[in-house]
Structure formats: structure tokens, C-alpha cells
Copies of this chain bind each other. A is one copy, B any other.
Amino acid sequence: MNKIKIGIIGGTGYTGVELLRLLASHRNAELVCITSRAEEGIHVASLFPSLRNHYDLSFEDPSKADLTKCDVIFCATPNGIAMKHSPNLIDAGVKVIDLSADFRISDVDIWEAWYGMEHACPERLSDAVYGLPEVNREAIRKATLIANPGCYPTAIQLGFLPLVENGLIDASSLIADAKSGVSGAGRKAAIGTALCEVGDSFKAYSVSGHRHLPEIKQGLQLLTKQVVDLVFTPHLLPMIRGIHATLYGKLVGKGLEMSESELRQIFVERFDSEPFVDIMPLGSHPDTRSVRGSNHCRISIHRPQGGDTVVILAVEDNLVKGAAGQAIQNMNLMCGLDETSGINNVALIP
């Protein structure tokens, strides 16, 4: 079988180097082009010595690179870039997987309000498929443009999904207390992500409103006729990778009558055939390291003290299931490959 020709736009960030790490062991994919305005001409292994002997490729200027020779393009760019490149690429027959937020929100007004810029191609929003395979697998297979979900939204939607779908919790009073490793903030020169500022410390941020809020609400709203509302509190962990979402829902209706074990069973059944969603045994507390470098989302379900609040714990690696791994999962689906190809490695413990 011929290898799929891959291009990466904007490969100098953490999602870019994670794509490179995972694609290096993907048997059916071959990187043929990677771009970066700032690092043009630099060998990828000069920037990331971990890639030495794995790639022989240098960054190209995006305006000069011939990206249409690719079968699939990953946009690992800051918000606002992919929406400029994608229309031409798609029209040229290239499949595009956007890891930024440009195509995640279907309502352009909401997108523009939260992202503070004008959308470059609102007419393409309806073509974009939200790349959460556990919800949209069949649509993803046929898609030409994927809006790869945000890191927080992936964990939070997967954690709430079976309860919201089945009307077991009050969708209008959800709470997501989420914690992320610093790599979620991207690779950039900034005091706010310096080791001396965020190491050995912990804090919340953007409590008044984080850009992933409308994405989460949109995703959950599609699952229920109830009005969805959410308090979403992001926090910054003194570590590199990993998201832990602690989710709170008020049990209602049948949910109130279900034991912890029965609630867990709802999850087991919903995700039974999912290769990357792992429902932990009763009483578990998944740790983020159990998914470090892997594409799994591990979830456990609690009903503390038998009260009317269900507590869901969901962990993922923000750079894998929360970004590059899920993007490759989407590529595998779009290209008719084994869904787990290249992303079925074991997490790095310790």
C-alpha cells in the first residue's frame, strides 16, 4: 500500500512536534512537507534533537511550499491561520485536519466574539466535521475538513457524554473543574509559563470565561434537548503534559435511582467499542501519567456518599488525545486505515 503523504503547517509548536513523534512510527504515513515561517531552512532535528535520525526534512516557508502534493495536511498553527489556508487546499483535493480552533464553532458570531477576529471563510464552517470520533465517526470518515477538538473539550465532553445523552443529569448546571499541564499553553516565550513562575505552584485562570467554554457547550448541546449550561474552571498544573477533568452533575430522574455501579455501566456500554476510551473499575482514581504520551482517555465514575451529585474523573494527554493523537485518529478514519494505527503505544510510566 502506498503511504499517505502528509504535510504539517506550523510544525514548531508542541502539537507539531507531537505529530512528528507519532507519525515517525506510523507505517502508512510519510511526512513530505513541514512549514514554519520563523524557522525556514532549519532542519526539524535541529529544533527538536529527539527527532535526529527519524526525519530528514527542513522547515519550508509556507508561502513557497507546495502543499497540494500532500494527501493530508495538519494545521498546527495558532488560531486564525488555518482558516486562510484551508479553502484552497480543500479545493485542490487535500484533506485538512485543523488542530487550531478555526473551525470548531459552527456559529460564526460566537466564534468571532470569543476569538476576537473576523472569520476568513465562514462559508466553510458547515463543511467542517468536529473531529471527536466517539461522536462523529461516520461523518469523519467522509470529511474533507476536520475541526480537531480542543484539549479541555475532549476530556470534558467524553466525561459528560453518556450522562447527558441519557438524560441522567441536569444539563443546565454542569460544573467542569479542569486542570492542565503547561504544554497546553503552547511553545512560546512568555513569563507566564516560565518554570520559575508556574513550577511548584498551582492556580486557576480565565475563570470568568475560557475560549473552550462555547466549544464544550456546543458539543454537549447536540446530545440533548435540555438547555446545556456549564461552569468551566481551568487550572494550570506544575507539570508538562496531562489534563484531569473533575466533572460534577446533579443526578435527575432515573439517574437519581442508579447506584455508582449502574452509572458506571452506562459508560461501559456507551464506550464499549471505543479503542481509546477506557472506563476504569469502580472506585478508581485515574492519574494523568497513566495516559502520558498515549491516546487514551481514562474515566472513572463516583457517586460520593450516595448523594445526588455524580463525580466523573477523566484524564487524557492534552497533546495526544487532546491534540495530535486525536488528529491522527481522524486521519486514520478519513483515509480508511486502522483507527489505532500509529497511536496505540503504551503510556510512559514512570
Give residues in A with beta carbon < 8 Å to B: 14, 17, 20-21, 24-25, 48-54, 173, 175, 177, 179, 182-183, 187-191, 193-205, 207-209, 213, 229, 231-233, 235, 237-242, 244, 246, 248, 250, 278, 280, 283-294, 296, 298, 302, 304-305, 307, 309, 311, 313, 315, 319, 344-350
Alpha-carbon separation in the docked complex, A25 to B27 (Å): 13
CA distance in complex: A283, B175 (Å): 19
Q: What is the bound-complex CA distance between A305 and B248, given in angstroms?
A: 18
**Extra contacts besides A188-B191, A195-B238, A204-B313 (8): CB < 8 Å:** A50-B290, A179-B179, A187-B191, A189-B191, A194-B195, A195-B195, A196-B350, A292-B348
A17 proximity list for chain B (CB < 8 A): 349-350
Name A192's closest neighbour in chain B (CB-CB).
B189
**Interchain CA distance A285-B241 in the complex, whole Å:** 21
Q: Is the CB–CB distance between B235 and A246 below 8 Å?
A: yes
Distance between A278 CB and nearest chain B CB, rounded to angstroms: 6
For this complex, 14 residue pairs linking A to B, each with C-beta atoms less than 8 Å apart, are: A25-B346, A48-B349, A175-B248, A182-B194, A187-B350, A188-B194, A195-B195, A195-B198, A195-B199, A195-B238, A201-B292, A238-B239, A241-B350, A248-B248
Query: Closest residue to A289 on the B side, CB-wise?
Result: B201
Q: Please state if B209 and A196 are interface contacts (CB–CB under 8 Å).
A: no
A188 to B241, CA, bound (A): 23
Q: Which residues of B contact A209 (CB under 8 A)?
A: 304-305
Contacts A193-B196, A194-B190; A348 near B21 (Cβ below 8 A): yes
A202 touches B244 (CB 8 A): yes
Q: Which residues of B contact A190 (CB under 8 A)?
A: 189, 194
Q: Are A231 and B304 in contact (CB under 8 A)?
A: yes
| Contact A239/B200 with A24-B346, A208-B283, A233-B311 known, Cβ cut-off 8 Å | yes
Within 8 Å by CB of A237, from B202, B204, B278, lies B202
Which chain B residue lies CB-closest to A206? B285
Task: From known contacts A195-B199, A201-B292, A288-B201, infer whether A346 and B21 are also in contact, taking CB-CB under 8 Å.
Answer: yes
Given A50-B349, A231-B307, A280-B49, A203 and B288 touching (CB < 8 A)?
yes
- Interface pair B288/A196, CB less than 8 Å apart: no
Given contacts A191-B187, A237-B238, contact A179 B202 (CB under 8 A): yes
Tell me the smallest distance from the CB of A262 to a CB of chain B, in Å. 16
Of all chain B residues, the one with the shortest Cβ separation from A317 is B348
Contact between chains at A304 and B50 (CB < 8 Å)? no
In this complex, what residue of B is CB-closest to A276? Answer: B53
In-complex Cβ contact of A182 among B196, B242, B246, B286 (8 A): B196
CB-based closest 3 A-B pairs: A203-B287, A201-B289, A50-B347
CB of A303, distance to nearest CB on chain B (Å): 9
CB <8 Å contact, B240 and A199: yes
